[in-house]
Structure 1
Amino acid sequence: MLAADKTVELPEKEKFHIYLLIGQSNMAGRGKVDPATNKAHPRVLKLDKAGNWVPATDPLHFDKPKIAGVGPGSGFGPVIAEASPEVTIGLIPAAVGGTPLSRWVKGGDLYERAVKLAKENQKKGVIKGAIWHQGEGDSSKPELYNSYQKRLAGMIADLRTDLGEPEMPFVMGELGEFFTREGAPTVNQALHGITKEVPATAVASSKGLPAKSDQVHFNADSEREFGKRYAAQMLKLQKQASEK
């Protein structure tokens, strides 16, 4: 296992596969970190706040340091790494808790920041996909959740264009079953709607994944399992692309 916070020497560009982690708090992760088991997979790295590639221990994100914890990236990275033993996986943790989709569409501050981070690291590796969890912040107002599908589909198209990756796989995660805000079902329907109209997209199911006591955030075990579901969908999209 790798020691945390130690900058790692990167492999050659073609063997460094990078994934963008974007969205709000359930992507950033609010699951409780267990120091006893907080070890990095030997071939999974994260981009830290200073822009260095270091072992991917939890928390991956640093959006809100006092509460950042286990997120889906923690389950996602190792599964992707095990599927390709010859490569190293790099996770760019760009999610920020409490953020609406308006900040993630082209021109929004978080979109532009994520694109900047990805572009800077395209010199070092190859962008292989993005995973997304967001929507809680858009599930209170009808004008937001009823337009969610169109706005997110537009963001995916812009992101692919701006990164020069027109077929980049994009996996979205459902809002939790426990999240009962009025627009949540519409947001989840929008995610599935996107898979029917936007190529190389998929949805990771949140079925059966419990929340923390706040009934807003997935707990640590749920987040790791969610990450494995994201990985399964990502690998499926990549397999489909390779068979074209």
Structure 2
Amino acid sequence: MFSRALIVLVLCFIGNQSFAQDPNFYIFLSFGQSNMEGNARFEPQDTVSNPRFQLLQAVDCPDLGREKGKWYPAIPPLSRCNTGITPGDYFGRTLVENLPDSIRVGIINVSVGGCKIELFDKDNYKTYTATAPDWMKGMIAQYDGNPYQRLVELGKLAQETGVIKGILLHQGESNTGDQTWPTKVAGVYANLLADLSLEPNSVPLLAGELVSAEEGGKCASMNPIIGTLPEVIPNAYVISSQDCEAIKDGLHFSAAGYRLLGSRYGEKMTELLKSNN
């Protein structure tokens, strides 16, 4: 009887040693389409790393010396191997600048350029993928055909060392005019929380506006729809894209635009984190 109890204690000790969750390691999930993936080329100023800001790599990138599921300094690209600067870059930088030195920030980015929100619908993504253009199918394949599941997989891995504190979304260009978009996002949000064993509505969701009309945004008409997201997700907040510089295609932000938009994500999350402490 004594030997069996001792074995149980030893096993528990080993388990605790291998699962060292740090409550001061704040994890953030990010997903969306090309603007969250990162369309603008990053510049030298964007590649200065901070040891308190880390990236959990979402795909293998041999040329970058990165492996899926491992932590690295969070410098671009945060998404796939050949992507650019994203709102996530300056989101994280803003957080570490404004939170106590004891806090570390980790980010996960699973995004697919051109995709509709339906790609992240865990029950219907196969139907959407079947109709996707070949160039998009190649990107989806890098996530083993299921970007949503990759986000969950990495989220669970991150929970072994940190605590999920928020979710970042930038998506909507491909759903422009879809009045049901907020409800679809709410479904993805609810599934993420359930699959990561988080309480309903317990984690803030920050959703960024698309390129504004003032910047020539071709999908700016979607912004009022994005603005209704807090009506269906109580813990959702919309991040303004006003004055965020765009490029001539009217769909994507410039590097300067990403920096400003990302800092706004960071400022809002800093406010929320401080108000909850």
Give the TM-score category using the shorter length: 0.7 to 0.9
Q: 1:37 to 1:136 in 2, by over 3 A?
A: closer
Higher Rg: 2
| Alignment-derived partner of residue 88 in structure 2 | 73
| Alignment-derived partner of residue 149 in structure 1 | 182
Q: Is the 8 A contact 1:201 1:237 kept in 2?
A: no
Determine helix, strand or coil for the equivalent of 2:165.
strand
Q: 2:217 aligns with which of 163, 179, 200?
A: 179
Q: CA deviation at 1:206?
A: 0.2
**CA offset digits 1:197-219 (Å, max 9, x no partner):** 32221011000112123221101
Q: Does 1:162 align with 2:188?
A: no
Q: Is the 8 A contact 2:24 2:162 kept in 1?
A: yes
| Alignment-derived partner of residue 268 in structure 2 | 233
| Alignment-derived partner of residue 31 in structure 1 | 40
Moved more, 121-130 or 35-44: 35-44
Q: 1:206 aligns with which of 241, 259, 266?
A: 241
Measure the CA separation in 2 of the matches of 1:12 and 1:118: 13
Measure the CA separation in 2 of the matches of 1:37 and 1:92: 18
| Alignment-derived partner of residue 215 in structure 1 | 250
Determine helix, strand or coil for the equivalent of 1:94.
strand
| Alignment-derived partner of residue 57 in structure 1 | 75
Structure 1 unaligned residues grouped into runs of 5+: 1-10
Tell me which amino acid in the other structure corresponds to 1:44.
F
Q: Does 1:99 align with 2:137?
A: no
Q: Does 1:16 align with 2:25?
A: yes
| Alignment-derived partner of residue 188 in structure 1 | 223
**CA offset digits 1:140-172 (Å, max 9, x no partner):** xx5xx1211211122222222221222011100
Alignment of 1:120-139 (within 5 A): 120-139=157-176
Q: Is the 8 A contact 1:31 1:220 kept in 2?
A: yes
Measure the CA separation in 1 of the matches of 2:185 and 2:50: 32
Measure the CA separation in 2 of the matches of 1:161 and 1:75: 28
Tell me which amino acid in the other structure corresponds to 2:76.
D
Give the alignment's TM-score, normalised by structure 2.
0.75
Measure the CA separation in 1 of the matches of 2:272 and 2:122: 24
Measure the CA separation in 1 of the matches of 2:46 and 2:183: 41
Determine helix, strand or coil for the equivalent of 2:149.
helix
Q: CA deviation at 1:35?
A: 3.2
The structure with the largest helix share of the pair is: 2
Q: CA deviation at 1:189?
A: 2.2
Structure 2 unaligned residues grouped into runs of 5+: 1-19, 60-66, 126-145
Determine helix, strand or coil for the equivalent of 1:124.
coil
Measure the CA separation in 2 of the matches of 1:20 and 1:33: 21
Measure the CA separation in 2 of the matches of 1:153 and 1:36: 36
Tell me which amino acid in the other structure corresponds to 1:70.
I
Q: 1:112 to 1:12 in 2, by over 3 A?
A: closer
Determine helix, strand or coil for the equivalent of 1:13.
coil
**CA offset digits 1:9-54 (Å, max 9, x no partner):** xx95222111111101101111221136521122101112321101
Q: 1:160 to 1:180 in 2, by over 3 A?
A: same
Measure the CA separation in 1 of the matches of 2:272 and 2:190: 16
Measure the CA separation in 1 of the matches of 2:45 and 2:180: 44
| Root-mean-square deviation over aligned CA pairs | 1.8
| Alignment-derived partner of residue 11 in structure 2 | none
Give the alignment's TM-score, normalised by structure 1.
0.84
Q: Is the 8 A contact 1:200 1:237 kept in 2?
A: no
